[in-house]
A and B are shown apart, each in its own frame.
Chain A
Amino acid sequence: MRFCCEVEAIIGADYLKTMPAIETFALEKTYQVGFWRKKTKLALRQLTLSVPEGEIFGYLGPNGAGKTTTLRLIMGLATPTGGSFKLLGGDINDGAIRAQIGFLPEQPYFYDYLTPRELLRYFAALSAIPAKECTRRIEAVLKRVGLYEDAWSTQLRKFSKGMLQRVGLAQAILHDPKLIVLDEPMSGLDPMGRREVRDLIEELNHEGKTIFFSTHILSDAEALCDRVAVLSRGELRGVGVVADLIGSVKGNVEIMWHGAAAVKAVQAAGFECHVIGETVRAVVPEANVDQVIDILRNSRSKLIAVTPMRTTLEDYFMAKLSAPAEVTQ
């Protein structure tokens, strides 16, 4: 009971109302390292996390934070040394559960001598997609991930990293899974490709799919995610709703105006000014906004913008990385 209350405090009561697509309970992984395998290395410490169905969840962390380890554990590719987890309310070792999950590994690599069409036919057979539906579905997903028809019959060894990433996405959604787990889905893609993948993730989410993806590219997470978790050195540092994190006012306001006449007066009032050509920028506390605007009005300067400074996901991320390892919302 105490544990449930703690979980509720960590992830928020509203999120527990829908069935979690992913639930981990004190999930842990340690590796034996060294020649005699006597030393232990902690890759993931006591991860307790819940991702409700229908959410886009970003799993953030710097390189080596333990993101890929977590994904390997929840996908059943490695065995946890502690804790437990559930996917779609069931066990990953159950074939019926795995049939509802799509997975894209980091920097996917496929069989060199197969074409995308052959590879997807192979995966379709493994996912028990009826033969009748196979061709139609393969062509549909290849088009959906932006792989052009002339590449469908080219062997994968001739593909660029970005094209392989698209094939990886195609295989992850081929069997119409409920839960899609993506490890660094934007890696290797050009800006256009990243935009297309972002659109695809949003589309899939609108179709009701839960997306759990790891990334260290914060702009992607900020643009896509409902919630994010920050992981560092194998420890969960925080979980938050993106809209809340980037919406909270820092207490400062950025004021921009045209004309250097007011600069001295604003500086005399104790605020620093940055002059770029004819444009001047000052960041002032919220309580002093009226005072600065009065100065600008008196000096007949042209006001351009008054913008409250908001926290970015990067601010949150950096704060969580430097904070002690205690999970806070």
Chain B
Amino acid sequence: MINRVRAIAFNTFREAVRDRVLYNLIVFAFLMIGASLLLGQITIGVQRQLLINLGLTAISVFGVLIAIFIGIGLVSKEIDKRTLYTVLTRPVERWEFIVGKFFGLFGTLIVNAGLMTIGFFVALLYLMHGLQSSDLSILAAIYFILLQFMMVTAIALVLSAFSTPIESAVLTFAIFVVGSFGEDLRDFAEAAKGGAHYVGLAVSYLIPNFSTLNYIASVAHGNAVPAGVVLWNTAYAFLYGGAAVCAAALIFQNRNMK
């Protein structure tokens, strides 16, 4: 079982790293980091803050785009192109396929984020001529970005298990945008009355709360990330991601191939 999941994950990773879309997005991310470096140099007093804000946002946004562009093809494109037929007619369980796909794409995102993080720290080192102990909190913010990637990958997988690639892409992106305002959505639900209150609450708990994982502005201001937050966010992302992967596996289990 582990061998099959590993083979599917490795194959997904290999396919992804050979996809040109990936490199285009990575180049754009590096351009963004470069641009923030340039902006930092012409700004007085807030160079570090600007670099962290723009740099980490670039890592986050482009990572999410990679997760969406590649994630939507994880299942639906395989069904469309019938690459799945030769996989599922082997002694492979459908849930193994889903789990393998998830780890393959998440692995790709970790490697990409790792590369972009190195690029970001090189830029920070260049701008500030050294690193401070408070820069460790930047790593916590990047860790939260990775947790976001994990959730986005899992959501893309769920949507990809029952819809077309375009529908999956649009829906995943919409959920990411709405989830980025998760706290506001919850506040709105609390303030609403009657049916809207319950509907709002249900939606706010169903849609992943990405805003709780966004610590970019906080670390840009030099704030530390409390250990409790790291633990809670980790637990939240793992639970949500795990539930989404299980849902994808359940949907896919009974799916008829075209």
Q: List the count of A-B residue pairs having beta carbons below 8 Å apart.
A: 78
Which listed segment binds A: B25-33, B79-87, B233-241? Answer: B79-87
Asked if A99 is an interface residue, CB under 8 A from chain B, the answer is yes
- Determine if B81 and A109 form an interchain contact, defined as CB atoms under 8 angstroms apart: yes
Q: CA of A175 to CA of B18 in the docked complex: distance in angstroms?
A: 27
| B193: chain A residues within 8 A (beta carbon) | none
Write the chain A residue with the least CB distance to B3. Answer: A125
- Determine if A113 and B85 form an interchain contact, defined as CB atoms under 8 angstroms apart: no
Asked if A159 is an interface residue, CB under 8 A from chain B, the answer is no
- Determine if B15 and A114 form an interchain contact, defined as CB atoms under 8 angstroms apart: yes
Write the chain A residue with the least CB distance to B86. Answer: A171
Q: CA of A125 to CA of B86 in the docked complex: distance in angstroms?
A: 13
User: A103-B89, A125-B3 given as contacts; is B15 within 8 A of A77 (CB)?
Assistant: no
| B4: chain A residues within 8 A (beta carbon) | 125-126
Write the chain B residue with the least CB distance to A101. Answer: B89
Write the chain B residue with the least CB distance to A75. Answer: B89
Within 8 Å by CB of A105, from B6, B14, B85, B93, lies: B85
Within 8 Å by CB of B82, from A105, A122, A127, A172, lies: A105
Considering the complex, which residues of chain A in the window 65-101 have a beta carbon less than 8 Å from any beta carbon of chain B? 72, 75-79, 95-96, 98-99, 101
User: A78-B257, A113-B15, A113-B18 given as contacts; is B90 within 8 A of A123 (CB)?
Assistant: yes
Q: CA of A7 to CA of B85 in the docked complex: distance in angstroms?
A: 30
Within 8 Å by CB of B91, from A75, A99, A172, lies: A99
Asked if B184 is an interface residue, CB under 8 A from chain A, the answer is no
- Determine if B90 and A77 form an interchain contact, defined as CB atoms under 8 angstroms apart: no
Interface size on B (CB < 8 Å)? 25
Q: CA of A133 to CA of B168 in the docked complex: distance in angstroms?
A: 40
Within 8 Å by CB of B83, from A76, A99, A109, lies: A109
Map CB proximity to A onto B1-41 as digits: 1 under 8 Å, 0 otherwise: 00110111001001100110000000000000000000000
Asked if A15 is an interface residue, CB under 8 A from chain B, the answer is no
Write the chain A residue with the least CB distance to B81. Answer: A109
- Determine if B3 and A128 form an interchain contact, defined as CB atoms under 8 angstroms apart: yes
Write the chain A residue with the least CB distance to B85. Answer: A105
Q: CA of A253 to CA of B6 in the docked complex: distance in angstroms?
A: 65
Asked if A118 is an interface residue, CB under 8 A from chain B, the answer is yes
Asked if B256 is an interface residue, CB under 8 A from chain A, the answer is yes
Q: CA of A112 to CA of B87 in the docked complex: distance in angstroms?
A: 15
Within 8 Å by CB of B86, from A76, A96, A114, A168, lies: A168
Asked if A108 is an interface residue, CB under 8 A from chain B, the answer is yes
Map CB proximity to B onto A169-211 as digits: 1 under 8 Å, 0 otherwise: 0011001000000000000000000000000000000000000
| B257: chain A residues within 8 A (beta carbon) | 72, 77-78
| B133: chain A residues within 8 A (beta carbon) | none
Q: CA of A215 to CA of B7 in the docked complex: distance in angstroms?
A: 33
Tell me, rounded to whole Å, the shortest Cβ–Cβ distance linking B98 to chain A. Answer: 14
Tell me, rounded to whole Å, the shortest Cβ–Cβ distance linking A260 to chain B. Answer: 59
Write the chain B residue with the least CB distance to A29. Answer: B256
| B91: chain A residues within 8 A (beta carbon) | 95-96, 98-99, 126-128
Q: CA of A99 to CA of B92 in the docked complex: distance in angstroms?
A: 9
Write the chain A residue with the least CB distance to B91. Answer: A95
Asked if B88 is an interface residue, CB under 8 A from chain A, the answer is yes
- Determine if A77 and B86 form an interchain contact, defined as CB atoms under 8 angstroms apart: no
Asked if B254 is an interface residue, CB under 8 A from chain A, the answer is yes
- Determine if B89 and A122 form an interchain contact, defined as CB atoms under 8 angstroms apart: no
Tell me, rounded to whole Å, the shortest Cβ–Cβ distance linking A96 to chain B. Answer: 7
Residues of chain A having any CB pair with chain B under 8 Å: 72, 75-79, 95-96, 98-99, 101, 103-105, 107-114, 118, 122-123, 125-128, 155, 168, 171-172, 175
26 contacts between A and B (CB under 8 A): A76-B89, A77-B88, A77-B257, A79-B256, A95-B93, A98-B90, A99-B90, A103-B86, A105-B82, A108-B86, A109-B82, A110-B86, A111-B83, A113-B18, A114-B15, A122-B11, A123-B86, A123-B87, A125-B4, A125-B7, A126-B7, A126-B87, A126-B90, A126-B92, A128-B91, A155-B18
